[in-house]
Amino acid sequence: MKPSIYEDSRDVFLDTVDAKDYIQLERISTIYQVLKDSIKKPFKMVLLYGKPGTGKSMFLSKLHESIASEQKAYLYKTPILDESEFYKTLAQDLYEIRYDGELNFTQFMRVVENRELVEAIVPVIMLDEAQLYSTIMMEKIRLLSDTRKVKFVIALHKTEKEDIIAKEHFQTRIWESIKLENALPSELKIYIQKKLMKANCIDTASMFTPKSINLIHKLTDGNYRDTNKLIYTLFDIYHYYAQNTPNKIKRNEISAKIIEMAAIHTGLINA
Amino acid sequence: MLNIHELENKHKKYKLKSFAPYLVILLSITIVLISILFFLLYDLGSNTELNKSEQIAQKEESQREENSTSNLTQEKNETLQKEISIPEIVKEVPKTEEVTEAIQKKVLLSPSLNFIKSIESQAPIYKEKVHKTAAIVEQQIKKPIQKKEEILLPAVEEVKESMAIVEKTGSIDIKRRDEEVDIKHVIKRFNINHNPALSLFVAKKYYQLEDYEQAYNYALATNELNNDMEASWIIFSKSLVKLGKKEMAVETLKKYINYSSSSQAKQLLDEILSGKFK
């Protein structure tokens, strides 16, 4: 096994949101299908929620990639917190209208109401990290979706605040509500191995035994982001040993010691 | 950039931390087990020592008992072999009455019933026999006195038997001599191994032989060797009373009751205070 294999394996787990890195897991595929179907249904809004690192951003990214070729779909990965800027961006993307001055909610509503749908297909706006939008802003987004001229897919963290938002603004109008959860150990194993095999790192993929997967799951609680961070560090340590003291590492399976060292480094273990 | 050496050190610390609770639990369980084992072995050792000494004492007593019973049966046989006529028995009746009276007096002079109960377990059986025979003599002799003319041969035989036993009780001095020899033998053994069970045995024997000073000495020696032996404190206090040191006995008993809350000691204290035990 070449020492560079660890380097390659490490880079697979860089924490990036790229639809190309999307890993098809059975449960996730089902959820994704529900989300995709909900876009076609006459829902005004779709709510996608879950703890940080459960793959909401990846879902939105994958959905955007999937439907962008068929209909108008825009993904805003970071919230546009300035209200005028938000309407101006929407006007630009949806209707290709450029506003130099201020654009307020009333003006933008008028624009939206006066526009006719092309082939009766409602354009989709995807808002990631929607918990950062103010309550008033969320109310206005809800009013925009009521026009049925634009559909919103909102991804937000599941916290108390988000619950309030869901209750106060969306309860009667929604729609579809999809919850994302952490991976089970079996899912985590598939996730890690598929990710490695996708990058042609078959040797390192076979190093993950059920024991090491269980330990990783215990440390990360099946959280995809934490798992990515942990395995990135894990292969970084392996890379170091392979270059400096190769006799210290086993090449047939992932050592629990190195998993724990990676967990200490990433802060998953408080040593 | 990873600092592997620092990470390895942190990992070592983490491992030690994670094993610490298990180590503590394991250590505490081991300590508990060792202490339990130690106490069990200690208890077993002391019990076997006590049992051995008790067994030896019991053997000696049973041997003595056998000797006395063989003597009694020999004498019985001798008396039965003699031909006795009814008038002769009648003549002898007053004799038996005198002996029974003497025994009754003895009974009256003996310590309280509780005292008897306390030493009953280790008291030599021949004493009991004496009491029993006394009772038998009382019951069986009273009958011939009341119905002198109606005396039948079997009754006469019984009277003869009891007579022989009573005569036997008359030779108490000889027994006591044996007893003294036994005591000396036990004392010798006590001087060798300083077993409190032996000194208590000696104290009891001396008390029974009414040698209260020696009983006091050996009870004291027993208490010094083992201050948890209730019987020893009882003999000690009784001997004190018998030696005329009632106040000291009361004081000793009070201290012992405070220490052990012994019911037997309480009872004895009550008896001493009320004057039942003199």
Of A233, A236, A260, Cβ closest to residue B11:
A260
Bridge partners (DSSP) listed for residue A46: A153, A176
Q: Which of A218, A259, A266, A269 to mutate to test the interface with B (most CBs of B within 10 A)?
A: A269
The tally of domains found in chain B comes to 2
Q: Is A123 left (phi over 0), alpha (psi -120 to 50) or beta?
A: beta
Domain enclosing residue B148, as ranges: 64-170
Which three-class secondary structure state does DSSP give residue A103? Answer: coil
Distance in Å, alpha carbon of A269 to nearest chain B alpha carbon: 9
B142 and B163 fall within a common domain? yes
pLDDT of residue A237: 94
Strands of A151-157's sheet, edge to edge?
A73-76, A124-127, A151-157, A45-50, A176-180
Distance in Å, alpha carbon of B226 to nearest chain A alpha carbon: 56
B106 lies in a domain?
yes
A117, amino acid identity:
L
A167-212 residue pLDDT tens:
555 656 656 788 888 999 999 999 999 999 988 999 999 999 999 9
B50 lies in a domain?
no
B264 and B219 fall within a common domain? yes
Domain boundary among B170, B201, B216: B170
B93 and B158 fall within a common domain? yes
B109 and B161 fall within a common domain? yes
B1 lies in a domain?
no
B141 and B190 fall within a common domain? no
Q: Does residue A52 register a pLDDT over 60?
A: yes
> What is the rounded distance in angstroms from the CA atom of residue B59 to the CA atom of residue B50?
14
- The answer, as to whether pTM is greater than 0.80, is no
B107 and B166 fall within a common domain? yes
> Contact A240/B2, CB-based, under 8 Å?
yes
pLDDT of residue A46: 87
B232, amino acid identity:
S
> Contact B4/A241, CB-based, under 8 Å?
yes
Domain boundary among B119, B135, B170: B170
> Contact A271/B17, CB-based, under 8 Å?
yes
B193 and B270 fall within a common domain? yes
- β-pair type (A45-50, A151-157): parallel
> Contact A271/B8, CB-based, under 8 Å?
no
B180 and B211 fall within a common domain? yes
A206-216 residue pLDDT tens:
999 999 999 99
> Contact A261/B17, CB-based, under 8 Å?
no
**Measured between alpha carbons, how far is residue A51 from residues A57, A178, B141 in Å?**
11, 12, 106
Bridge partners (DSSP) listed for residue A156: A49
Spell out which residues of chain B touch residue A265, defining contact as CB-CB under 8 Å: 2, 7
CATH of the domain at B257: 1.25.40.10
> What is the rounded distance in angstroms from the CA atom of residue B264 to the CA atom of residue A256?
69
ipTM of the complex: 0.74
Q: List residues of A whose CB lies inside 8 A of any B CB.
A: 233, 236-237, 240-241, 244, 257, 260-261, 264-265, 269, 271
Closest listed residue to residue B208, CA positions, set B244, B233, B183, B171: B183
Smallest CA–CA distance from B2 into chain A, residue: A237
> Contact B2/A264, CB-based, under 8 Å?
no
Spell out which residues of chain A touch residue B16, defining contact as CB-CB under 8 Å: none
Smallest CA–CA distance from B17 into chain A, residue: A271
B160 lies in a domain?
yes
Q: Which CATH superfamily is domain A26-180 in?
A: P-loop containing nucleotide triphosphate hydrolases (3.40.50.300)
B57 lies in a domain?
no
Please report which helix (H) or strand (E) contains residue A153, including its range: strand A151-157
Q: Does residue B130 register a pLDDT over 90?
A: no
pLDDT of residue B120: 55
B23 lies in a domain?
no
B151 and B75 fall within a common domain? yes
- pLDDT > 70 in chain B, percent: 56
Contact by Cβ (8 Å): A235, A191: no
B154 and B211 fall within a common domain? no
Tokens of B38: 């130690």
B117 lies in a domain?
yes
**Cα B166 off chain centre by:** 25
B181 and B110 fall within a common domain? no
Smallest CA–CA distance from A262 into chain B, residue: B7
Closest listed residue to residue A195, CA positions, set A204, A186, A183, A182: A204
**Cα B195 off chain centre by:** 15
| pLDDT band, residue B71 (cuts 50/70/90) | low
A223-233 residue pLDDT tens:
999 999 999 99
| Mean pLDDT to the nearest integer, B116-145 | 50
Which three-class secondary structure state does DSSP give residue A56? Answer: helix
Q: Which residue has the tokens 């001997």?
A: B239
B45 lies in a domain?
no
**Cα B274 off chain centre by:** 25
**Measured between alpha carbons, how far is residue B138 from residues B81, B84, B141, B162, B194 in Å?**
24, 21, 6, 10, 44
Tokens of A202: 């078959």
| Mean pLDDT to the nearest integer, B25-42 | 93
B85 and B159 fall within a common domain? yes
